[in-house]
Amino acid sequence: MNATDPTVEESRVELEVPQQLLRRSGFAAAAPLFSADLASAGSLDEAEQVVASHGRRLWSEAVRKDGAIIDDRPLYWARLTLSARLHAWRPDFAVDDQDRAALLTRLEHASRGHDDLVFPPGDRKLRVIVTGFDPFGLDTDIRASNPSGVAALSLHDATFEAADHTAVVRTALFPVRWRDLTHGMVERVLLPHYTADPGSSAAADAVITVSQGREGRFDLEAHNGAWRGGRADNEGRTAPGLIPLGAEAPRLDPQPQWSPSSLPRQAIVAHAAGRFPVYDNTEVTEIPADAGAEGEPVRRPNGPTPASAARAGAGGDYVSNEIAYRNTVLRDATGRSIPAGHVHTPVLRLGGTDPGALTDADFERDRADIVEQLRAIITAAVRPAAPDE
């Protein structure tokens, strides 16, 4: 693809539903303002400042709230609108493909909250990172919302009491794209919070990744597998095979086939009751050690057997399993003993037969209930264990 051509995701922006979401949210104004400032940039450095500023503005506007549950869709479509403008930008000064790619990466990080994972100082603080994903399945329903993204936007800056500490939540979003995972986006964002001195304002005390899972239930994924399946991402691309860990971040050698959650799953099940049941999901799919490389995959309800090869973690073999795997491998490679693991939320769907309806009462109820129960899950994940737990 030419560096100035729109991506598959960007090509959907001009459809009626994305435009409606942008107009009714106020995010439609972002693109012309961005284009004007980008056109006034007289150098690559000035362009980088414009991109970073507008990216951060998207994020800060998206997480502004007065106790409300936030719709994740306007931020998604606004970001794509700006990235399409950046792809099409032709300044008077020289910009090669590498320069444009760097600007696009800067926009991604700034508009996804990756710059905003900053915690307040204090010995009595518990610093909790929660991540969500973009909407996906857009070729099936262009109106799709991702409850993990809703939760990330709605819970950013949330605080709650955990025994004699105050838990402070900071959040970030990730794309549903294999290429970003391959190029190390997860490690670039999370690694500084694993390598900072424990107790410092940068060090995370828990890292919880979240995505949309199954109908009507939360799943706590016990085992993350080192395998990508063949499902297409938001760009229509597939990348099946062993999850590629880059050399830029600390890693375990050999690369583990399985990486476990360290969330207190039983305590969460016991203390995060709500409208939806919460399950401790231990099922995986593996190729047993004695079956050889060409062996048939086998489902195991109680986790992997010794020396088996991963074919699906408890959370499957899509991007959710991969972010969970990368997160927990980082935890182990940096030697941090903190709660780290993945939560799958219930599916969030729009009902009715009107393809132009952007919301309905059941959708609003489900979205709010998922966020509030996820808040309870996060609280249970960082609360001190009772003596009998």
Kindly state the average pLDDT of the residues 189-196: 97
**Residue 136 scores a pLDDT above 60:** yes
Phi, psi for residue 47 in degrees, rounded to 5: -65, -40
Task: Render pLDDT for 193-225 as a digit per residue (tens, 0 to 9).
Answer: 999 998 888 999 999 999 999 999 999 999 999
The CATH number that domain 119-382 falls under is 3.40.630.20
Cα distance between residue 319 and residue 228, in whole Å? 8
**Residue 66 scores a pLDDT above 90:** no
Task: Render pLDDT for 27-61 as a digit per residue (tens, 0 to 9).
Answer: 999 999 999 999 999 999 999 999 999 999 999 99
User: Percent of the chain, pLDDT > 70?
Assistant: 98
Cα distance between residue 146 and residue 211, in whole Å? 8
* pLDDT at residue 107 in the model: 98
Q: Which residues of 1-35 are buried (b: 16+ CB within 10 A; e: fewer)?
A: eeeeebbbbbebbeeebbebbbeebebbebbeebb
CA distances from 365 to 69, 88, 192, 368 (A): 10, 40, 37, 5
Cα distance between residue 71 and residue 22, in whole Å? 11
* pLDDT at residue 387 in the model: 53
Q: Which has the higher per-residue pLDDT, 249 or 265?
A: 265
Q: What is the token pair recorded at 334?
A: 């940096």
Least confident of 127-131, 151-155, 158-162, 231-235: 158-162
Residue-range domain boundaries for the chain: 8-116, 119-382
pLDDT band at 388 (very low <50, low <70, confident <90, very high): low
Kindly state the average pLDDT of the residues 145-159: 97
* pLDDT at residue 88 in the model: 95
**Residue 345 scores a pLDDT above 80:** yes
* pLDDT at residue 201 in the model: 87
Asked whether 324 and 311 are in contact (CB, 8 A), the reply is no
**Residue 334 scores a pLDDT above 60:** yes
* pLDDT at residue 5 in the model: 84
Instruction: Tell me which residue of 322, 63, 328 sits closest to 207, measured CA to CA.
Output: 328
**Residue 351 scores a pLDDT above 90:** no
Q: Which residues contact 125 (CB under 8 A, 6 or more apart)?
A: 119, 165, 166, 167, 168
Residue 334 backbone zone (phi > 0: left; psi -120 to 50: alpha; other: beta) = alpha
* pLDDT at residue 127 in the model: 96
**Residue 380 scores a pLDDT above 70:** yes
pLDDT band at 2 (very low <50, low <70, confident <90, very high): low
Task: Render pLDDT for 279-317 as a digit per residue (tens, 0 to 9).
Answer: 999 999 999 999 887 899 999 999 999 999 999 999 999
* pLDDT at residue 354 in the model: 84
Task: Render pLDDT for 6-36 as a digit per residue (tens, 0 to 9).
Answer: 999 999 999 999 999 999 999 999 999 999 9
Computed over every residue of the chain, the mean pLDDT equals 95
